[in-house]
Structure 1
């Protein structure tokens, strides 16, 4: 793959030189009555096989279409030392970067335009060029509504279906993230663009408390409150109830949400959203889900066992148990809701 991407980049440079050096043209004419001859030992290729690779600009704000192969959109790009599913289940796979390295992650929505199933890895190939060095990608597939990952080389995308693919590039930790050349290859079609990760960060939508986020096909979600506390009690504390208490020297970062199910079937509480947080732009914490039950008289920490019926609403809490010092610093909370990314900042 490195050779292929290098060849394409070289071809791009060659075409540029040809365009600039148009001062000399050589033309060979065949005398009347004579036929042109093939060089010994060669055979003319069919026209389809003579087509050169197509190199074009990678569109970042709309779909890139390669006829009969794929239609794809770059959703986002980011860097991380540990790639986790956006809405992790109780058991899930994740990917840690090599020592001294970090991952550059390109997330694409890819529609299979072929007439049959194609493995995710074969739909598209991605490469990243940094200062002349080519990096290949490990392709993984978002599954179970964002709760887990599948392998790109074994997970098939059905004809006309769309999958969310993650391309993981293991690069040195000191890489300049504002000078990345992303190359996406589909058949003989290559799209390329120079990208800075800050451009994607600026497109992430900000959460406003008590304002609905609605996807008409899946969910309407409102973030009601974000706060720190060493305990979490249900709203009604009469009778017997469960509660959560942080360990000594720690506190909970708590995000309270209300979700309405707009799907045509039940929605498990653990598929409402994916929420995680980072302290001082360095320390990452996952968050677990607790839901209100019994009309607010109890709390339950097994969200996969409870569901919201169509057009019903439910209340959930996302908790991260963090050192007490986190409460006095800057915390960025990332949300993954109905396939879109949002954030909320404290401090």
Structure 2
């Protein structure tokens, strides 16, 4: 007597053949018992597997080879980005109080109260222009934090073009600029930072959208310039 079985994902196929002339022997009887037990075992395993697939929402239709095509899980809805308002402080506990002071298109960025000797930023390409985003940052940390670590600013133009920015920080009461990566903001002290993104000049004049994406800690905030 010969027997064989095949176990497949989500379905069971068993074929057994008993050699002719074998009738009623002890050997045949034992083989039939074993085959029956095997069928019951595989049937139970198959039922358990299908129940698990059904519970997880992944049970699909069996293919001709006995496989299962899993149903794709629905993708989560995209979360809407938070917004930030100009002139309204945004407080993140134990981190910072962030205020978007203003945004301005300009070819030349100067400190608000320039001293006799000061640093300024000027666009070299006449076809481009700076979008100067001014943000006030009051540290709520328990110790000093790097000025360049509190926030970052990116710009999306016409709903498709992305631009990064670099930052500088006012010093001496606004008489000059210095680098943010060498400047710290002490606890409960405030720094005024300028984030400069270089865009094509038409971005300042056409009717296409210009949107800021401000990252503060692990959160992103949106501000529509125009």
Give your verdict on TM over 0.5. yes
Q: C-alpha distance in 2, partners of 1:195/1:41? A: 39
Report the counterpart of residue 279 of structure 1 in structure 2.
157
Q: C-alpha distance in 2, partners of 1:341/1:291? A: 21
Q: How does 1:124-273 map to 2 (within 5 A)?
A: 192-197=73-78, 200=79, 203-247=80-124, 248-273=126-151
Q: C-alpha distance in 1, partners of 2:193/2:112? A: 12
1:104-156 deviation line (CA, Å, top 9, x unaligned): xxxxxxxxxxxxxxxxxxxxxxxxxxxxxx9xxxxxxxxxxxxxxxxxxxxxx
SS in 1 for 2:203: helix
Contact 1:219 1:338 in 2 (8 A): no
1:6-29 deviation line (CA, Å, top 9, x unaligned): xxxx98xx9xxxxxxxxxxxxxxx
1:198-219 deviation line (CA, Å, top 9, x unaligned): xx2xx22222111011111211
Q: TM-score, structure 1 length as denominator?
A: 0.45
Q: C-alpha distance in 1, partners of 2:119/2:158? A: 32
Q: C-alpha distance in 2, partners of 1:278/1:50? A: 48
Which stretches in structure 2 are left out of the alignment for 5+ residues? 1-8, 12-35, 58-69
Report the counterpart of residue 341 of structure 1 in structure 2.
220
SS in 2 for 1:222: strand
Contact 2:90 2:97 in 1 (8 A): yes
SS in 1 for 2:148: helix
How far did residue 270 of structure 1 move?
1.1
Aligned length: 177
Please tell me whether residue 55 in structure 1 is matched to residue 56 in structure 2. Answer: yes
Q: CA RMSD in A?
A: 3.4
How far did residue 294 of structure 1 move?
2.1
The one of 184, 201, 204 equivalent to 1:327 is 204
Which stretches in structure 1 are left out of the alignment for 5+ residues? 1-9, 15-35, 57-133, 135-180, 184-191
The structure having more radius of gyration, on CA atoms, is 2
How far did residue 314 of structure 1 move?
0.6
Report the counterpart of residue 172 of structure 2 in structure 1.
294
Larger RCO: 1 or 2 (CA < 8 Å, sep 6+) = 2
1:162-209 deviation line (CA, Å, top 9, x unaligned): xxxxxxxxxxxxxxxxxxx9x7xxxxxxxx434454xx2xx2222211
How far did residue 233 of structure 1 move?
0.9
SS in 2 for 1:326: helix
How far did residue 346 of structure 1 move?
2.3
Contact 2:131 2:198 in 1 (8 A): yes
Report the counterpart of residue 167 of structure 1 in structure 2.
none
Report the counterpart of residue 313 of structure 1 in structure 2.
190
Contact 2:115 2:176 in 1 (8 A): no
Contact 2:145 2:185 in 1 (8 A): yes
Q: C-alpha distance in 1, partners of 2:117/2:37? A: 94
